[in-house]
Structure 1
Amino acid sequence: MTMPPRRFLLAVTAGLALAAGLDPIPAAAQSAVALTGRVTSAGEGAMEGVVVSAKKAGSKVTISVVSDASGRFSFPAAKLGSGDYALRVRATGYELDGPVSVDVVLAVTREIDLKLRKVADITPQMTNAEWIASFPGAPEQKKFLYGCVGCHTLERIAKSKHDAQGFMQVMKRMATYANNSHVERPQVRVVARDPMRDFGPDSDKQAAYLATLNQSSGSWSYPLKTLPRVAGKGTRVVITEYDLPRKPLLPHDVIVDRDGVVWFSQFDEQFLGRLDPKT
């Protein structure tokens, strides 16, 4: 069966917002700009690949764009209406040098430059991919970690202080939870099963390995690695996010139909969700 042109499948991680739009910016639309500016820092000067997000006061929608090679970002006028917007950024290792808000007025291009500063601790910003890249060991040794990220982040492991025996107890407890459990909503199985079924015959080796990654012996013995920011054509996008009505709501297997309506399954509950971006 041929898939309709506007239908696509997204893998959505747990969070408070559902990314339902990822739209390339047509060249003609770039001339109608509601908000623009440059992103800079003392260490890098103009910064490419910084995600700049704007959320209107009282709104449930966040619009994000990405800075180009000159550090410039631009929000299309079609995406921002008049109102007071709070701005935030996403660039691992950096944060805004203080809160920033701007008053957007219809048919007027506002300009605001954003200055970033280094963060004292990058770990809350690191993705699971960056944690895996940072962890020492061969790819085969790390492979089992891919099964951890559906329920919690790898930061949770890295910041723990369990020794190998402690991790074995954690793994046994985890085996009592159903597959659709999440750290904010663990679901105990009706019938407990052998943890060896989930972690395999090498669970003791896995536990010993995990104890070398965390802070059981003090600080980490390995450098923290981050992925490069997006560059070039990858910066020419507009991302639309919609706040979800409650927490934890965990969208999974997202599909957008030919009418632009978003359908998704709920990771840890038995229901189908529907989101109409027009309303």
Structure 2
Amino acid sequence: MNRAFLFGFTAILLLAACSQERDQGQRPDTDDSGTSIITGQVTDTDGAGVAGAWVTATESSGVRHTVFSDGAGAFTLPISADGAVTLLAHTTGRTSTAAPVKEGGPYRLTVQPKQDPLAHLPSAWWLALLPDSDRRKEFIVNCASCHEISAARVIQDGVVRDKARWMDALALMRGIDEYSLIPPDFIDEDYAGWLAGHLTAETIATLPQERPVDAAAVTGAVITEYDLPMEGSLPHDLVVGPDGRIWITAFFYDKIWAFDPETGAYDSFDVNDSSETWGQVRALEFDTAGMLWIVLGGTQSLVKLDPATGTTETYPVGMYPHSLDIDAHGDIWVNDYFSKPERIGRLRTTTGKVDIFNVASANLPVEEGLPLPYGLQIDPQGRVWSTQLAANTLVAHDIASGESRLITLPVANSGPRRPAIAPDGALWTPEFNTGFIARTDPETLEITRFDLGLATSGPYDIEIDQRTGRVWVTGSLSSSLIAVDSDTGQAVDYPFPTEPAYTRHIAIDPGNGDVWTAYSSLPAVTPKLVRLRVP
């Protein structure tokens, strides 16, 4: 089994001293729909309002609803729980006590310092301690592609890792790299010494105790976190189905889960008909007939799932498919993750025939390893776009002519991952290694880059709200979702209340604009399905 690019280190557990007060008054209000409304203020120990704090109400079912306090520390939190809930306020470095929501309100939640605030600081700030260089980019793409690099990985048994301990970590990573994804020019001893030289007690002391939050921009947003049916599932991809349910791939269990946001119920579907080979379910997409298509890299196949009956059909494709999209004829296109030179495939759904196409290649030298075809999209002009994560390229394959074109991204080693097509036909690509996103003009192929504000935020996936054109990006290493105005490039960062919250993929509800993602770090943290609702 390939579970590459992870460090298996013990997570840091912590307790925090805190306090909470409740002003006496009426019970929580309700809006016209009957939803309870909790109001109050987050303050520090001097009584001053705390802006940009997370305020979380936890239902008896375990569902958690979180809002942000405004510039004065005030908050309004809608909850839908019929049973008892608890209320908690916290920031990266401070927390209140968790208290039951009973009679009384509005609430005043007083936050006090956590015992170890750096344990709650996302990877992006730790990685920013490393010099901005090609070496940092290489480290991010090779060692942070599946999990965070933060306190629990930098500090072991209370001691900052030295070169020998970094060598141990890299040896562990090598031991699970079954597919040889780490390139030959990644020299472990050099990287171990480099990491030990820059991640030191002295540099760690410069880290901020609090992550910055733009309270004015995020106030009014609501984050809801739902448990998943099984621990350690690695929820990899997700999509909103025609029935409004959220369909999620459980990478480690070869299952698809369908979640009903109205009832909170899950249905489970087994999608690997091979008992001997781990399927490694990744990308998924519905066709116009309501059938769900899924890639299984481990069995080198596509699977069609009928949601109504739960039956599946398996189609071998002769490659490790990483991503998929469906063209105007209903045929399924995939890219070959391990191909060198690069290639893509098409499954003709009416006949089951598979066509393989060699596409324009980056021709990486041996020492640079595999190009790693990654994301795939089909634009309105009938071009199949594939990003090559390690080759720093885009490929545009014209379906009608069979011709392909190679486009090298303007900044070296930018790490293009999962792109999306905008309503105007433009291709938007996340640069995982740089903290930028890039727009490729559909006519001129000119590339314009947009800075998300933090070079180490780890943009992984992009989805676009087709109603508004708003660009949504997963900040895998900043534990956040980022909204970008496609006209101005202005970015708003919505940080998650849970750390680590390594997010991979996004699904947008076409009806109401809700943004869905999942916490998906490897090694496994507690996985969650997450909804962000913005005003």
Q: What TM-score do the two structures reach when normalised by structure 2?
A: 0.38
Structure-1 residue corresponding to 2:44? 41
Shift of 1:92: 1.0
Say if 1:40 and 1:114, in contact at 8 Å, map to a contact too: yes
Structure-2 residue corresponding to 1:3? none
Shift of 1:68: 1.1
Say if 2:119 and 2:152, in contact at 8 Å, map to a contact too: no
- Secondary structure, aligned partner of 2:100: strand
Taking a change above 3 Å as real, the CA distance of residues 120 and 229 of structure 1, as seen in their structure-2 partners, is same
Shift of 1:136: 3.9
Say if 1:62 and 1:242, in contact at 8 Å, map to a contact too: yes
Taking a change above 3 Å as real, the CA distance of residues 51 and 260 of structure 1, as seen in their structure-2 partners, is farther
- Higher fraction of helix: 1
Q: In structure 2, give the amino acid aligned to 1:207.
A: A
Q: In structure 1, give the amino acid aligned to 2:53.
A: V
1:274 aligns with 2:273: no
Shift of 1:211: 1.6
Q: In structure 1, give the amino acid aligned to 2:45.
A: A
Say if 2:238 and 2:248, in contact at 8 Å, map to a contact too: yes
- Secondary structure, aligned partner of 2:190: helix
Q: Provide structure 2 residue ranges, at least 5 long, that are not aligned to the other structure.
A: 1-30, 264-535
1:137 aligns with 2:131: yes
User: What is the identity percentage for the equivalent residue pairs of Structure 1 and Structure 2?
Assistant: 25
Taking a change above 3 Å as real, the CA distance of residues 221 and 66 of structure 1, as seen in their structure-2 partners, is closer
Structure-2 residue corresponding to 1:236? 220
Distance in 2 (CA, whole Å) between partners of 1:43 and 1:153 is 34
Say if 1:82 and 1:103, in contact at 8 Å, map to a contact too: no
Residue deviations 1:212-259, cap 9 Å, x none?
A: 2456xxx34441135311321321111221112232122122222343
Moved over 6 A (4+): none
Q: In structure 2, give the amino acid aligned to 1:55.
A: T
- Secondary structure, aligned partner of 1:45: coil
Structure-1 residue corresponding to 2:72? 70
Distance in 2 (CA, whole Å) between partners of 1:29 and 1:208 is 61
Distance in 2 (CA, whole Å) between partners of 1:37 and 1:243 is 27
Say if 1:159 and 1:214, in contact at 8 Å, map to a contact too: no
Say if 2:68 and 2:215, in contact at 8 Å, map to a contact too: no
Q: How does 1:83-232 map to 2 (within 5 A)?
A: 83-96=83-96, 98-103=97-102, 110-133=105-128, 135-147=129-141, 148-149=143-144, 150-160=146-156, 161-178=160-177, 189=178, 197-198=182-183, 200-214=185-199, 219-222=201-204, 223-225=206-208, 226-232=210-216
- Secondary structure, aligned partner of 1:175: helix
Residue deviations 1:26-80, cap 9 Å, x none?
A: xx989x76211000113682112111111122x131111111112111123xx33
1:51 aligns with 2:54: yes
Taking a change above 3 Å as real, the CA distance of residues 199 and 210 of structure 1, as seen in their structure-2 partners, is farther
1:254 aligns with 2:238: yes
Taking a change above 3 Å as real, the CA distance of residues 204 and 61 of structure 1, as seen in their structure-2 partners, is same
Distance in 1 (CA, whole Å) between partners of 2:258 and 2:52 is 32
Distance in 2 (CA, whole Å) between partners of 1:224 and 1:29 is 45
> Over the residues paired in the alignment, what is the CA RMSD in angstroms?
3.0
Q: In structure 1, give the amino acid aligned to 2:65.
A: I
Taking a change above 3 Å as real, the CA distance of residues 84 and 168 of structure 1, as seen in their structure-2 partners, is same
Q: In structure 1, give the amino acid aligned to 2:162.
A: D
Q: What TM-score do the two structures reach when normalised by structure 1?
A: 0.69
- Secondary structure, aligned partner of 1:204: helix
Shift of 1:171: 1.6
Shift of 1:158: 1.5
Q: Provide structure 1 residue ranges, at least 5 long, that are not aligned to the other structure.
A: 1-27, 179-188
Taking a change above 3 Å as real, the CA distance of residues 136 and 172 of structure 1, as seen in their structure-2 partners, is closer
Distance in 2 (CA, whole Å) between partners of 1:235 and 1:258 is 30
Q: How does 1:2-13 map to 2 (within 5 A)?
A: none
Distance in 2 (CA, whole Å) between partners of 1:145 and 1:151 is 12
Distance in 2 (CA, whole Å) between partners of 1:116 and 1:199 is 49
- Higher fraction of strand: 2
Shift of 1:198: 4.1
